[in-house]
Amino acid sequence: MPDIQPHLFVIFGATGDLTKRKLIPALFHLMEDADVARRCVVLGAARSDWSDERFRESAREALLDNGYSEEAVAKWCTRNLFYQCLGEGGDDYEALRRRVDQLERHLDLPGNRAFYLSLPPPVYGPAIDGLGDVGLNESPGWTRVVVEKPFGNDLASAQALNERVHRHFDEDQVYRIDHYLGKETVQNLMAFRFGNALFESIWNREHIERVEITVSEDLGVGGRGGYYDQSGHVRDMVQNHLTQLLTLVAMEPPASMDANAIRQEKVKVLTSVQQPNPETDVVFGQYGAGTVDGEPVPGYRDEPDVPDDSDTETFAALRLNVANWRWQGVPFYLRTGKRLPTKLTQIAVRFQGAPVSLFQSDGQPCIPQDADCEARSNELLITLQPNEGFDLRFEVKAPGENENGTMELETQQLSFSYADAFGPVPDAYETLLRDIIVGDPTLFVRADEVEASWQLYAPLLDTDNAVHPYEAGTWGPEAVDRLLESWTSGGRSDP
Ligand code: BG6
């Protein structure tokens, strides 16, 4: 792995929640062991009139909450953290440029810079222009700009933002974040597929009946009602996180593990997926009041900052067809929602059954298409969170015989647990921040990739499709049965 070089890591939105919860702990943990830790400097920037001291204090709190020692934290904060106020308008980029120059001179930094935009999406464009206008898009070393999701809110706005970014930065300087790509188990999808010929040889329409991707959350929208109500679940989760999982499951083997070779294959998948028909391939839902984990919870419309008559979807289930030689005719079902019974990210691959089932309770062979045929198919469950691992389900003979004197089959599974094998998995942000600093764009979304995924969901973004109510703590509205009656991961009402 390339070494971390001395650099300045500038965080826009340094007084915000993401900085405190994710960025500061990840940077601290990364830098703790770097040989050049002294010369890896973080410069927070935001509108608030904070001092270096105030920023350090906020970081110190976050790090102590994460269990780091008082001494190590105090040293790092004093030596490595600085803050620059961007003025009331949040646009004093000249002041920022002067501070960057001054810190680099003073701390003997080589001019390597990352600018992380942890900002509300409407401010991405102005911040990019601001950096370009004062010349912060160039430096004596490397310069990288990191843009959080959502990148645009439809195809046109994503294209416009890409154009704006490219006015000031080359594509290889741009790191579009989707934190799902930093999850160890998501990256492992590639290792699993392309490191094991066993599965790859049956990973196609000849052997797979369907693929289900479930990303369920037990949480509601919490304090983010204002943002979420404008966005909805397709924009918040489907266009990015679920689509990334889909591309990793469906892509062809890349020519190499080079970033562009991989991203090329992902774009190819996205452009093969047919746009879903809002009426037949999609079910939207919105949670009402209910019970999650034994606690009563309010309905979506009663959450702070959500209008009483909102028809924003908090749940989406989709059927997608990947129209290429590998997948044509294999349905990909995507299901995701807030306030479902449990937090679970899982990919279920159902293989085709035996052509003739010999093990029926009445002793008569049947074919799986027959209504009363009891044949069961093999399934592979890839769990990305929590309890990361795999389960491969297969049929075994249960001991003894049934009352008709025939053999009875029972489903059992072979299981692999990530935690048992390797201990706790690293945090996604730490992986991604390291990649930004060492200049590896593999786990970031390329310009054409983000546009292809907005294009794919265009018919769903402003549809007036019905949004079906569901009770919090269930697996979504009953209308989901229209797409798929029995999901492998969890039941509709029964986790
Ligand atoms: C974010 C969404 O991108 O991902 C949130 O904006 C969602 O609404 C979150 O809760 C889920 O991430 P994770 O890592 O907890 O599955």
In the structure encoding, which two tokens stand for residue 489, read together? 């991961």
Q: Which residues are within 8 A (CB) of 234 and not within 5 positions of it... i.e. 6 or more apart?
A: 313, 316, 457, 460, 461
Pocket of ligand 1 (CB under 6 A): 217, 236
Instruction: Name the residue at shortest CA distance from atom 6 of ligand 1.
Output: 236
Q: Residue 376 Cα, ligand 1 centroid: separation in angstroms?
A: 34
* Spacing, Cα 241 to ligand 1 middle (Å): 8
To test ligand 1's pocket by mutation, which of 18, 153, 179 has the most ligand atoms within 8 angstroms of CB? 179
The structure tokens 């915000």 sit at 16
CA 217 to ligand 1 center in whole angstroms: 8
**Cis peptide bond upstream of 386, omega within 30:** yes
Beta bridge partners of 263: none
In whole angstroms, what separates CA 234 from the centre of its chain?
Answer: 13
Structural domains in the chain, sorted by start: 7-148 (3.40.50.720), 181-423+445-483 (3.30.360.10)
Nearest residue (CA) to ligand 1, atom 8: 236
Please name the residue whose Cα sits nearest to atom 15 of ligand 1: 217
393's enclosing H/E stretch is strand 389-397
CA of 485 to the centre of ligand 1 (A): 26
pLDDT of residue 492: 44
pTM more than 0.75:
yes
Looking at residue 361, its pLDDT comes to: 80
pLDDT per residue as tens digits for the range 441-453: 999 999 999 999 9
Cα 356 to middle of ligand 1, angstroms: 43
Whether 233 contacts 338, CB under 8 Å: yes
Considering 29, 168, 179, 241, which one is annotated as catalytic? 241
Q: How far apart are CA 347 and CA 212, in angstroms?
A: 6
Place of tokens 């949670």: 287
Taking the C-alpha atoms of residue 175 and residue 415, their distance in angstroms, rounded to an integer, is: 35
Enumerate the β-bridge partners of residue 348: 212, 381
Pocket test for ligand 1, best of 176, 184, 217 (most atoms within 8 A of CB): 217
Can you tell me which atom of ligand 1 is nearest the CA of 241?
3
Closest CA to 344 of 298, 382, 293: 382
Which residues does residue 333 pair with via DSSP β-bridges, in sequence order? 212, 319
Q: Is 165 exposed, middle or buried (0-12, 13-18, 19+ CB in 10 A)?
A: buried
Q: pLDDT of the chain along its 495 residues, tens only?
A: 778 899 999 999 999 999 999 999 999 999 877 677 888 999 999 999 999 999 999 999 999 999 999 999 999 999 999 999 999 998 999 999 999 999 999 999 999 999 999 999 999 999 999 999 999 999 999 999 999 999 999 999 999 999 999 999 999 999 999 999 999 989 999 999 999 999 989 999 999 999 999 999 999 998 899 999 999 999 999 999 999 999 999 999 999 999 999 999 999 999 999 999 999 999 999 999 999 999 999 999 999 999 999 999 999 999 999 999 999 999 999 999 999 999 999 999 999 998 998 888 888 888 888 888 878 899 999 999 998 999 999 999 999 887 777 888 899 999 999 999 999 888 999 999 999 999 999 999 999 999 999 999 999 998 888 999 999 999 999 999 999 988 998 754 343
CA atoms of 246 and 347, how far apart (whole Å): 9
Strand bridging mode 389-397 / 344-351:
unpaired
Say whether 29 is catalytic. no
Output the six-digit token pair for 80.
């490595």
